[in-house]
Structures are given as C-alpha cells and as structure tokens.
Amino acid sequence: MSGEVVRLEHDGPLAVLTFDAPPLNLFDDAVFSGFRDAIATVAADPPRGLLIRAEGKVVSGGVDVGKVFDGMTAARGRALWDELLATIHVLEDLPLPTVFAAHGLCLTAAFEIALACDLLLAAPRARFGLVEIVVGLTPSMGGPQRLAERAGPARAKELIYSGELFDAPTLERWNVVNRVLDGEDFDAQARAFAARIAAGPTRAHAATKAIVAEQTERGVRAADAIVGEVSGALFDTEDLRNAVRSFLTDGPGQATYEGR
C-alpha cells in the first residue's frame, strides 16, 4: 500500500518487499517493525520467490542513530538484536529463492539483510558498508559472520574494521555480490532476474537451499547424508514429473513449473 515504509506486493509467483522511507530509508522502529511483519507474512504463506529492493536514490543510509541507539541500554540492545536475528533466520530459512537488489548506497542493516539473502544483485554504482564503528558498535544483525562465510574472515574483518565503503565490482570479486548488472534500468533487470528464478521448480530450489545450508553448517559429508531424502522427494512432485515428460516430448528447456 502507498505510504507504508515497508511494502509487500506480489508479481505473479514473485513477492516483492520494498523499503520506502524517504529520503534515506533509515532503519528506525517503524522500518524494523515493517521488515519483521513482511518476512513473517512471506513465511506464513510462501510465494515462489522473494525480491527485496528499495525506492529512492539509496538503498539505505543505515540505522537512524538518534531514534534507535541514543539512550539504548545493554539489556535493550540484547533484546533488539535477538529479535532482529530471529527475523534474519526466518528469511534465510524460507523454502524459496531470495534475491536482494542494491541500486545504490547500502549500509549497515540493509547490507546485513542483503547478506542473509540467497543472491545479491548490484548496480555498478552501488556501494556497501558495515560502518557501525562510527558509533562504537559492531554489526549485529548477522553481518560479520555472513560476510565471512562469503568472502572469508580476513576480508570480513577488513571491511568492518576499516569502516570504508566498497563498490559493487570489488565485492563481486570477493564473492559477496553475485552479479553486477551493468544496464540502463537496474530495477527492471533485477525484477526480471528474480522473476525468472521464481518461475523455476520451487521445490527443487528448496532442496538446493537445504543441501547447501547443511554443507555450510556441518560439512560435505553431512550434506551428502540428506541428499537422498530431500532430492528423492522431488520425484513425487508435479513439477518434476511434468518436466521429465516435457524433456522427452519437446526437448530440454521447454518445461514450465507451478511450484508443486
């Protein structure tokens, strides 16, 4: 709906979550609350894909320090991070592909949300930073550990310790950004990419997420141990059966999927 700082809309099989709190999309209580509610809504009735994006010149200028951190106590800080990390976990555990699109400056909370998504797309002009050191804080929505998972611990420490901004091509080289979309209409490209992924075999994508998550958390052999269960179950899905028939009748690449 118009006027909401966080909107959740649907475009066919794709859900689109948009941050729209001009001029800088700063994260305050309203934005944090809207984000939590939107992710809970997606989890309660999963679409086939999720795109997270933002309106305005920047993705986000970070957290509204005056509204959120001024006067914060240690007890309240622990509670806030526990609440937000719980939502990050829900986002990561969604049984569907999640894509974050960064068209411009993307700082702190927004960058941490991006790191919790499956894929991160960026415009060439996008810049990223976990700059919490400016207020004597460490990133606390999962950024350090997820950045280390993508780029390695030394790069994660460099980015956070320095408080510097890093451009999209650099972070693509570091395996933080998946793709830099170098075109005239980044938003249209990002939506088309996310829509194409969402139109794929949703149950197979969920199986891929489960296998990769198991490898990340417990290693290759642990991931091997769940393949039979999660991949074998796909033979009971309509999408696989229809795709096999399409492959045999029409050749590869002609199948369409319904997410069942």
Please list the pLDDT of the chain residue by residue as tens digits (260 residues). 446 999 999 999 999 999 999 999 999 999 999 999 999 999 999 999 999 999 999 999 999 999 999 999 999 999 999 999 999 999 999 999 999 999 999 999 999 999 999 999 999 999 999 999 999 999 999 999 999 999 999 999 999 999 999 999 999 999 999 999 987 899 999 999 999 999 999 999 999 999 999 999 999 999 999 999 999 999 999 999 999 999 999 999 989 999 99
208 in the same domain as 190? no
102 in the same domain as 223? no
| Domain count within the chain | 2
Of 107, 120, 122, 124, the residue nearest 149 (C-alpha): 120
Q: What is the pTM of this model?
A: 0.95
Asked whether residue 147 is domain-assigned, the answer is yes
240 in the same domain as 111? no
Question: How far is 87 from 62, CA to CA, in rounded Å?
Answer: 18
Asked whether residue 12 is domain-assigned, the answer is yes
212 in the same domain as 147? no
236 in the same domain as 122? no
Contacts of the segment 149-158: beta carbons below 8 A, 24+ positions apart: 149/216, 150/115, 150/174, 150/175, 150/176, 151/175, 151/176
139 in the same domain as 222? no
Domain of residue 179 covers: 6-198
Asked whether residue 1 is domain-assigned, the answer is no
- What CATH code is carried by the domain that includes residue 154? 3.90.226.10
Asked whether residue 257 is domain-assigned, the answer is no
